[in-house]
Chain A
Amino acid sequence: MALTLTCPVCGKRNGYEFRYGGEEKGPRPDEADLTPQAWCEYVHMNKCVAGIQKEWWCHKDGCGVWFTTHRNTTCNLEVDTPEAQS
């Protein structure tokens, strides 16, 4: 489907050049005192927002950079800010 993403290095490119890297969940939890719950939360759990979410992408078939962006999951459109209307 139509998906265009903006790579911070290469600019707007076809979505099929990228690999999805998951919902943005903050920094990887510290290993000291890490509980199975906290690890599971970081690795597996998702909010599955039907709307705008912050997420990771890798420009796999391009420059290889990892970056975050905001996308509306109900229409596959990248948005500038999380406040943008869906």
Chain B
Amino acid sequence: MLRKSKRLWGDQAALKSSYDAVIIGGGLHGLAAAYFLARDHGIKNVAVIEKRFLGFGGSGRNTAIVRANQRTQQNVPLYKEALELWPILTKELDYNLMFFNCGNLNLMHSEAAMNTARMNVATAQFHGVESHLIDAKQCKELVPALNISKDITYPIFGAMYHPPGGILRHDAIVWGLAKGAAKHGVHLHQQTEVTGIGVENGKIVSVETDKGRIKTPRVLNAAGGYSAALSYQMLGIKLPISVLTIQAMVTQPLKPILDHVVSSGTYHAYANQTLKGEIATGAHMDAWPNYTTQTTAYYIKHQAEALSEMLPCLRGVKFMRHWGGLADMTPDMAPIMDGNNLIEGYYMDCGWGYFGFKSCAATGKYMAQFISSGNCPEMLKPFNLSRFEQNRLMGETAALVNYTPDN
């Protein structure tokens, strides 16, 4: 390299032999927890251990959609706070996160779906989140490119319209949080892999890495797609998670034509136009667990078919890039945030599936509270692991997901 470039988060510090907290995973959840631990709780002697590079996992591969119109009353407040944090963090981190609150349009293709949307809208409004039910004609007024003719596979009946949602540049928030965490003294160790977790008398005592042992009383498992494998392999704790490859793609850049995030569960497709002009669109999930992150021709065909019906002006547009990432899915499509109970000092923040981008900042804030005090904040209590044993699944999905044996 000719130009001497400097990392936003400074040079990598030497790995110390002890830290007050070790965070496994340099994705957004790990970085956000580290940032808030150091900034708000005076726990600055923190290491984030990342086996590849910051943002290598889902955090650098997602389609960047943010919204707060989830299905259940336990989930909405957390996502609402997350959505409200973007403008604040943009200032605080002194980094342009490219938040574009263009609004989300969640299309409905039957009367039954419209009724479900009615309930969702009521839940959102109850929690002070703006959300409306609109008909097909209003959809067309908002998004002129939309095909509302009756002559397509799944005609559009209406939509759930959520004005405050939108998109945020995913790399920017990774870099911004890394910069912020480093500023408050956090050590970010890239190319360092956690290989074991030391437990003595029911307490966390250390973390093994390929660069040496670290003594620590606190560990956060924020390893994204690898969190469940790591939990079982290193601690013998099984989680109700299935890991699936999920794909997304972008088209060639176009002039501005789409100023909303448009999604359809029935077409199994969503699309938004990035600030660079590309149509970013996803997401196909493999129907069986795997860690490959491979892409498929099968999915390109599906996406081309869905988009050319929903947004016919995209016919003939070329896909430029296509990639895959991992989604750690739980049976109720809600995450698992728990800790300091099975093993003293062990915390987990995982099971974020394909929806953990939008929540990362707020989650990090509450996980930092949890880790520093040892007590679970009210906001996170519904997301405990024991809900599965108690058969109190959270209902973020209306129908059973199809990667389990029980569908």
B-binding residues in A (CB < 8 A): 1-3, 15-16, 19-22, 36-37, 40-41, 43-50, 56, 73-76
Is B391 an interface residue, CB under 8 A from the partner? yes
Known contacts A21-B405, A75-B292, A76-B290; decide if A48 and B391 are in contact (CB<8 Å): no
The reply to whether B292 and A1 form a contact with Cβ atoms under 8 Å apart is yes
Is B319 an interface residue, CB under 8 A from the partner? no
Q: How far is the CA of A46 from the CA of B242 in the complex (A)?
A: 7
Is B294 an interface residue, CB under 8 A from the partner? yes
Is B199 an interface residue, CB under 8 A from the partner? no
Is B245 an interface residue, CB under 8 A from the partner? yes
Residues in B whose Cβ lies below 8 Å from that of A15: 288
- Interface extent on B, as a size class? 20 to 34
Residues in A whose Cβ lies below 8 Å from that of B333: none
Contact of A40 among B245, B389, B403 (CB under 8 A): B389
The reply to whether B391 and A36 form a contact with Cβ atoms under 8 Å apart is yes
Residues in B whose Cβ lies below 8 Å from that of A48: 228-229, 232, 239, 241-243, 289
Report the number of A-B residue pairs with Cβ-Cβ less than 8 Å.
Answer: 74
A-binding residues in B (CB < 8 A): 226, 228-229, 232, 238-243, 245, 286-292, 294-296, 298, 331, 388-391, 403-406
The reply to whether B241 and A43 form a contact with Cβ atoms under 8 Å apart is no
Residues in A whose Cβ lies below 8 Å from that of B391: 36, 40
The reply to whether B405 and A46 form a contact with Cβ atoms under 8 Å apart is no
Residues in B whose Cβ lies below 8 Å from that of A75: 292
The reply to whether A40 and B289 form a contact with Cβ atoms under 8 Å apart is no
Q: How far is the CA of A43 from the CA of B245 in the complex (A)?
A: 22
Residues in A whose Cβ lies below 8 Å from that of B294: 1-2, 76
Q: How far is the CA of A28 from the CA of B381 in the complex (A)?
A: 31
